[in-house]
Structure 1
Amino acid sequence: MTNKDAGSLSIMSALAVEVAFKRWIVPRFEQQTGIRPGIVWEPTTVLMRRVENGERADIILAIDHAMDRLVQDDIVRRETRIPVARAMVGLAVRKGAPRPDISTVDALKSVLRGARSVAFSLGGASGIYFQQLIQDLGIADEVKARAVTIPAGFTAAKVASGDAEYAVQQISELMSIDGVDVIGPFPEEIQAFTDFSAALFADARHPAAAQAFLDLLESDEAIAAYGNGGLASLVRAPSAA
């Protein structure tokens, strides 16, 4: 790592990996390098708008289809792109509250129809998926009549505060908020799996530090962090396996 790379690293990241990053990966990186990354946390849709407006960092972590565009436009370095993790959508309730059965489509549909209120994000990938899902299930009017929506951010905050009975979001994002319990994922047949990847910006100012962070994202420690943070790893199997 060169002198100009020491002590600084900027990252633009989707919200899905926040738990894995904050609890395990970033502390490990700080321990290894002495560098505390500055991280901008936003839904991928917001990150892309910021990039389109000219904002840059050293690293971006985003949903794959958005990363495809960044690669195509040479905004990130194609050869540095790595798969990171897969997120899935689930439901959360206030900590200690009963956890209903959502293991089948009919069970989930019943829970949503009977809910006092359901929180979801209008701008995030999970919220966009959920709005289409309730339309497909024929319960959109019932759910939206009692919906608690946010433009972006963590929907579970509305459950923790008592403003909503349930929160819909990617499980890893639900885990970011204290005071809630994750009930579980939506049934597989209606699940929305979202894959995330990371890459260096073409004009990264601290490429050596950035590459060191990407290397950590492929480590056994990171693989464990993804699992503990509500995600499925897309990295190779751990070397000890």
Structure 2
Amino acid sequence: MKMSLMIAAASLLGLAPVVSPTGGAQAAELKVLAGGSLRSLLTELAPQFEHASGHKLVIDFDTTPNLIKAATSGEPFDLGVVPIDVFYDAAAKAHFTPPVEFARVGYGVAVKAGAPRPDISTKQAFKKTLLDARSITFLPESAAGSYILRLFERLGIEEAMKAKTIAQAQPTGIIPAVVSGQAELAVFVNNVLTAPGVDIVGPFPPGLQQELVFPAALAVDTKQKEAAKAFIDFLMSPAAIAVIKSKGMTPGKG
């Protein structure tokens, strides 16, 4: 009966349970490299996948530079769920099979819940809001942070922003910095800003907005190919898509 319930749950989530010829589940432990900004998403999705499939996920969340190092370190892993910037590095890309996009997300600005919402509706208003802010916080050493830094350069405010930036080492530090009042504004991808304690002011204005793409790909030398592929398939399932949308993200093209 228990196995029948697992198979039914897996079917609803679009999974194919791995079952041995003798009827026992062949559970795999998958090491996953993941972008730090996906922590909230994958923390919600991982238990669903584990319950339906019987597999175990061991997820290492990190920044893009560190994910590139991990992929090229020689240490074994089974798949990556990472910012597309990881695949711009030729050495890292060589350790993955061709990726599939499962989600993308735009950039926005957030303030402490209940605080006045500044105008960011146009390029000039956005620039003025950044210059007028007492402090801002984001994660410079990341794919999203790299785009934000380039945007500051494009607006000609890079030096002014350096003086008021409270840099975070991981995405998990962004929301607490705003909630505590340490930083007035958070500037980052919207799925990280979709969190209790802050209000999203809105997206970057037209002409400055961009989407960060998140692909998933198997490691070329994974010994758990079928289980790893099952997780990627799960990320495209209706159950996963519902959670992706709830985090302010757009499901990928697959």
The normalised TM-score by structure 1 is: 0.85
1:72 and 1:137 map into 2 onto residues whose CA distance is 32
Change (3 A) 1:188 1:226: farther
Q: Does 2:180 match 1:161?
A: yes
Identity %: 32
1:98 and 1:47 map into 2 onto residues whose CA distance is 37
Root mean square deviation, CA, Å = 2.2
Out of 71, 74, 78, the residue aligned to residue 54 of structure 1 is: 74
Q: Which residue of 2 aligns with 1:15?
A: 36
2:183 and 2:246 map into 1 onto residues whose CA distance is 26
Residue type of the partner of 2:215? S
For CA contacts below 8 A with separation 6 or more, give which structure has more relative contact order: 1
Q: Is the 8 A contact 2:34 2:82 kept in 1?
A: yes
2:76 and 2:206 map into 1 onto residues whose CA distance is 36
Unaligned stretches of 5+ residues in structure 2? 1-17
Q: Which residue of 1 aligns with 2:6?
A: none
Residue type of the partner of 1:86? R
Residue type of the partner of 1:17? L
The normalised TM-score by structure 2 is: 0.81
2:92 and 2:61 map into 1 onto residues whose CA distance is 21
Deviation of the 1:140 alpha carbon: 2.4
Change (3 A) 1:235 1:26: farther
Q: Name the count of aligned residue pairs.
A: 231
1:104 and 1:96 map into 2 onto residues whose CA distance is 22
Q: Is the 8 A contact 1:20 1:228 kept in 2?
A: no
Deviation of the 1:7 alpha carbon: 4.7
Deviation of the 1:65 alpha carbon: 4.2
Q: Which residue of 2 aligns with 1:149?
A: 167
Change (3 A) 1:12 1:131: same
Deviation of the 1:5 alpha carbon: 4.9
Q: Is the 8 A contact 1:11 1:57 kept in 2?
A: yes
Unaligned stretches of 5+ residues in structure 1? 237-241
